């Protein structure tokens, strides 16, 4: 069995374990390459039908092309698509782009807090009505007890401390020093009532693995990842206010694979274009403890 098939098999096993063990399960879809590969794996795991909702946290600063891509494939693949937001922070303009708080505080409000209230169903959630092709406020939303997330160990320090099945307490806090061991592919999926579990099927994948898999499986990706003739492309996606494209002339998946394998990005960190990471100073781990993705 080749390397990519081994990774795929393990991820599919984790997705099936998650589906078998969590009643109110959802999967985050940020539109980036990681969660889009995860979505492809979920479609493969369940033979084309994703049996749980896809959840997007909309900061309202995402690059517009990302939202168009989300809605196009949500309709095409008949996904049960939900999005949530921090309505209060957006209404009161308590955001970094409005000049009213730091980047870390803005991420805490628009990402971590929005995620928390979307998952525990205390915030307004919008669900795609496939009949009319529009989002509607979800009536009687139920809290999610498990959420599948496409983080990878190699992305940044705090993510390397995650488990495949990583519990958060009833306040959604993450206790890094008190996580269950996961030996020999035996996963703990039985947790105390009130526990919320993050499930991470992509922990072992690298950025290069992802792009090689995208190439092998012919997964459609948002075009922001490719150079359109300006010598620039996004290597990592996020809010347009805080994420910069990198200099690159890669126009195809094959050229991105080549760039990562032996070219200019073989030794440069993937999230180097993200301003909030540069301002982090250890804050990302604190944010993740508080619910950040
Ligand atoms: S990435 Fe920038 S705009 Fe987006 S939530 Fe974080 S600070 Fe705010």
C-alpha dist (Å) from residue 279 to 51, 212, 239, 274, 276? 38, 31, 15, 9, 5
> Is position 287 within any domain?
no
Same domain, yes or no: 224 and 244: yes
pLDDT at 77 over 70: yes
Contact in structure between 41 and 209 (CB atoms under 8 Å) = no
C-alpha dist (Å) from residue 175 to 50, 286, 287? 30, 11, 12
> Is position 27 within any domain?
yes
pLDDT at 236 over 80: yes
> Is position 289 within any domain?
no
Burial (CB < 10 A; 0-12, 13-18, 19+), residue 35, is: buried
Average pLDDT, the chain: 90
Q: How far is the CA of 153 from the centre of ligand 1 (A)?
A: 22
Residue 278 has what pLDDT?
A: 56
Name the residue at shortest CA distance from atom 4 of ligand 1: 239
What gap in Å lies between CA 187 and CA 201, rounded to an integer? 12
Residues contacting residue 199 through CB under 8 Å, at least 6 positions apart? 14, 15, 18, 22, 146, 147, 148, 149, 164, 165, 166
Of 218, 287, 222, 192, nearest to 70 (Cα)? Answer: 222
For the segment 156-175, the average pLDDT, to the nearest whole number, is 80
Same domain, yes or no: 213 and 252: yes
> Is position 282 within any domain?
no
Which residues make beta-bridge pairs with 134?
A: 129
- By most ligand atoms within 8 Å of CB, the mutation choice from 56, 57, 59 for ligand 1 is 59
How far is Cα of residue 281 from the mean position of the Cα atoms in its chain? Answer: 22
Residue bearing the bigger pLDDT, 279 or 16: 16
What gap in Å lies between CA 52 and CA 48, rounded to an integer? 12
Residue bearing the bigger pLDDT, 287 or 224: 224
Residue 177 has what pLDDT?
A: 78
- By most ligand atoms within 8 Å of CB, the mutation choice from 58, 66, 97, 283 for ligand 1 is 97
Residue 274 has what pLDDT?
A: 59
Same domain, yes or no: 219 and 97: no
Same domain, yes or no: 141 and 118: yes
Residue 107 has what pLDDT?
A: 94
What gap in Å lies between CA 267 and CA 272, rounded to an integer? 11
Same domain, yes or no: 133 and 78: yes
What gap in Å lies between CA 55 and CA 31, rounded to an integer? 10
104 membership: H or E segment, kind and range: helix 103-107
Confidence of residue 95 (pLDDT cuts 50, 70, 90): very high
220 is in which domain, residue-wise? 207-277
Same domain, yes or no: 187 and 232: no
- pLDDT, one tens digit per residue, over 198-227 is 999 999 999 999 999 999 999 999 999 999
Q: Is 245 in the pocket of ligand 1 (CB under 6 A)?
A: no
Based on the structure, what is the number of domains in the chain? 2
> Is position 188 within any domain?
yes
Residue 67 has what pLDDT?
A: 97
Name the residue at shortest CA distance from atom 5 of ligand 1: 107
């Amino acid at each position: 069995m080749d390397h990519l098939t081994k990774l795929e098999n393990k991820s599919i096993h984790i997705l099936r374990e998650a589906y078998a063990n969590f009643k109110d399960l959802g999967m985050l879809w940020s539109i980036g390459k990681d969660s889009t590969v995860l979505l492809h794996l979920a479609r493969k795991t369940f033979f084309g039908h994703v049996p749980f909702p896809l959840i997007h946290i909309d900061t309202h600063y995402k690059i517009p092309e990302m939202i168009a891509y989300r809605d196009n494939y949500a309709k095409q693949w008949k996904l049960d698509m939900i999005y949530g937001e921090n309505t209060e922070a957006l209404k009161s303009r308590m955001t970094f782009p409005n000049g009213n708080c730091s980047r870390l505080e803005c991420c805490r409000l628009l990402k971590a807090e929005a995620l928390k209230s979307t998952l525990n169903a205390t915030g307004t959630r919008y669900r795609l009505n496939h009949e009319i092709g529009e989002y509607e406020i979800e009536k009687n939303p139920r809290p999610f007890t498990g959420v599948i997330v496409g983080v990878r160990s190699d992305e940044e320090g705090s993510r390397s401390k995650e488990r495949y099945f990583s519990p958060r307490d009833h306040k959604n806090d993450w206790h890094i020093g008190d996580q269950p061991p996961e030996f020999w592919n035996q996963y703990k999926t039985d947790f105390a009532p009130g526990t919320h579990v993050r499930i991470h099927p992509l922990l072992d994948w690298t950025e290069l693995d992802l792009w090689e898999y995208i190439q092998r499986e012919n997964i459609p990706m948002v075009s922001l990842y490719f150079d359109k003739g300006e010598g620039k492309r996004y290597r990592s996606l996020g809010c347009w206010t805080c994420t910069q494209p990198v200099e690159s002339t890669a126009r195809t998946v094959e050229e991105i694979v080549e760039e990562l394998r032996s070219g200019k990005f073989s030794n440069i960190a993937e999230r180097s274009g993200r301003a909030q990471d540069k301002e982090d100073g250890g804050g990302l781990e604190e944010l993740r403890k508080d619910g950040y993705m």
